[in-house]
Chains A and B, each alone.
Chain A
Amino acid sequence: MARKPRPPQPLIIRITHWINIPVLVVMAMSGLQILRSYPYFGPQGAKYDWVPLQAWESPEWVRAGGWLAGGRHLHFAFAWVLVINACVYLGYLLYTREWKRRWFWPPRDVKQAIPQALYYGKRLTPPLVAAIAVEYVLAQVMDSGPMLLIAFFVVFGVANWGFSKLLERRGKTIVEPAKQGLYNGLQRIAYTSAAVLGALEILSGLAIWKPVQLHRLAWLMGGYDGARVIHFLALLGLAGFVIMHVVMVVVHLRQFPEMVTGGALEVAIAEPVPAAPVVAKPTEAEPKETPKADKKETQ
């Protein structure tokens, strides 16, 4: 089935993506405000000691709402924006079958993900280690949490640029495996995990909100206290995703405008195109260009 050419990032995906950023920030910050009033997990008298970060005194800059009632109102108000946004995104993905080129599909992606992980290991470890080292030093002299957070990505960006120049000067190339269609295998794993974590946040959140009325959902989440654990662990997972996502944005800065403009139209994903000759740059050499559409998507 032939389909119209589609940009890498269609409008609905861009809109839902950018709405997610302020909404997720507010949800995370107001959630941490709520957590602060009882930073433990498990029922009274039978706490779950295995859950990490209990009794955490979160710094003020990661919280929003000022107090418990303020945090709760923010959280419940923005939760609906998140739910609507998630439904629009999911509905669009399923309706247009965008999920086929975005989500993790083991038969297609596993084989690519392994060399991709090895590539990132070689290519990103030196600048990441450098950025973490500089961050450690900065943390000794700087107090401001948000500044340290921004500094990390800036320092990483500089270290990454320096490393690429170093490789260039020495005439070395680290070969990046060709991606498959829109994304590489690791990207698909990352984006799919983020969507799954988001869905878990919404489901466990509903269970915490109405543990009695939505008792079946609460049961699925391991009861009210189980749902609280899932809600918090999913937040840690999402935080990890966001950090890696921003690191990757810094690495591939030139692709960033795509999420704003949509990017150049791609030929319909269902129609295989002949491999175009690609001029390899010294730092981002792509030795073999595979056809844009792979077999999985042709079906």
Chain B
Amino acid sequence: MSKPMSRRDMFKLAGGLGVIGGGTIAMKYAVDSSDPRAGNLGRMERATLGLEKILLSDREHQPGDITPPMAFPMYHVAPRVPIIPDGWKLRVSGMVANPLTLSLDDLMKMPSTEYRIEHHCVEGWSAIATWTGVRLSELAKRAGAKDTDYVEFRSFDVPKGWTRGYWSSWDRDSAMHPQTLIAWAMNGRPLSPEYGAPVKVYGAVKLGYKNVKYLTEINFLDQETGGYWENSGYEWFGGV
């Protein structure tokens, strides 16, 4: 074991080190993390998507204790907390047989569902709250939504200098999950402006940034329309 290296071994050693060094350099050029949804990293994201869709199940989830009220982080992209516009209505349209225009009252009169759900933020934190609202699958039924692959959510949370608000698009299976709600209450109280009033989409199977607050529109589409964070480089599926 302690005998000196033969010439042959030295060639092998040099070759091995060369392969490792070359591989490391090649790897650096093969990935561009500044635009991660393009290039090879984007290809890997799409390759993983198939598995993520297989993993997605209809099972419903009930986690532990509710997060103390003020400890649940608040978040919006507009410079100030977005306030409900006068005459606010939620539109359900896109590829639907009869588009709906619903007031908050209309939504609250529909059969409601309540769930305690663990929230997972893309940053890594988790928090738990109870959400009350209408199942999105119920709205899809009432609107006679076509069997499209995608559902898009739009909002009035408008970043500075933008004309349109925060948005996201989901795969249909996640949108039709029994725990995907158009929620109007959090922990038994009507949503406050900090948490997305008057209604937000809330699902157990998506990361936080997929759950659009301050909803204005739900569109059933046959095309994926990205999203606010998705278009800047975050994963499109964002499932948990």
Contacts and interface: CB of A to CB of B under 8 A. Distances in A.
Interface string B93-123: 0000000000000000000000000101111
Contacts of B87: none
A234 B36 CA distance: 27
A70 B23 contact: no
A43 B33 contact: no
Interface stretch (B12-20, B131-139, B152-160, B192-200): B12-20
A132 B56 CA distance: 50
Contacts of B120: 211-212, 224
A70 B34 contact: yes
A71 B36 CA distance: 9
Contact of B124 (A37, A70, A74, A264): A37
B129 to A, nearest CB: 10
A37 B20 CA distance: 31
A121 interface: no
A26 B27 contact: yes
B223 interface: no
B33 A213 contact: no
B9 A261 contact: yes
A254 interface: yes
Contacts of B126: 43-44, 211, 224-225
A241 B108 CA distance: 57
A211 B12 CA distance: 45
Given A70-B33, A73-B33, A43 B44 contact: no
Interface in A220-279: 223-225, 228, 254-258, 260-261, 263-264
B202 to A, nearest CB: 13
A213 B67 contact: no
A228 B13 contact: no
A77 interface: yes
Nearest to A23: B27
A228 B68 CA distance: 21
A212 B233 contact: no
Nearest to B8: A261
Contacts of A104: none
B141 interface: no
Contacts of A257: 5, 9-10, 12-13
A65 B205 CA distance: 26
B9 A77 contact: no
Contact of B232 (A69, A77, A80, A264): A69
Interface of A: 18, 21-22, 26, 34-35, 37-38, 40, 43-46, 64-74, 76-77, 80, 209-215, 223-225, 228, 254-258, 260-261, 263-264, 281, 284
Among A64, A65, A209, A212, find the residue whose CB has the most chain B CB atoms closer than 10 A. A212
A50 to B, nearest CB: 17
A254 B1 contact: yes
Given A72-B234, A212-B204, 8 more contacts: A26-B27, A37-B124, A45-B68, A210-B240, A254-B1, A254-B5, A256-B13, A260-B17
Contact of B233 (A26, A69, A228, A281): A69
Nearest to B31: A74
B125 A38 contact: yes
B45 interface: yes
Contact of A43 (B52, B67, B123): B67
16 contacts: A22-B20, A35-B124, A43-B67, A44-B71, A45-B72, A67-B233, A68-B123, A69-B235, A73-B45, A74-B36, A77-B40, A212-B205, A212-B240, A257-B12, A261-B12, A263-B1
Nearest to B230: A69
Contact of B41 (A68, A74, A215): A74
B239 interface: yes
A114 B233 CA distance: 52
Interface string B197-240: 00000001100000000000000000000000100111100011
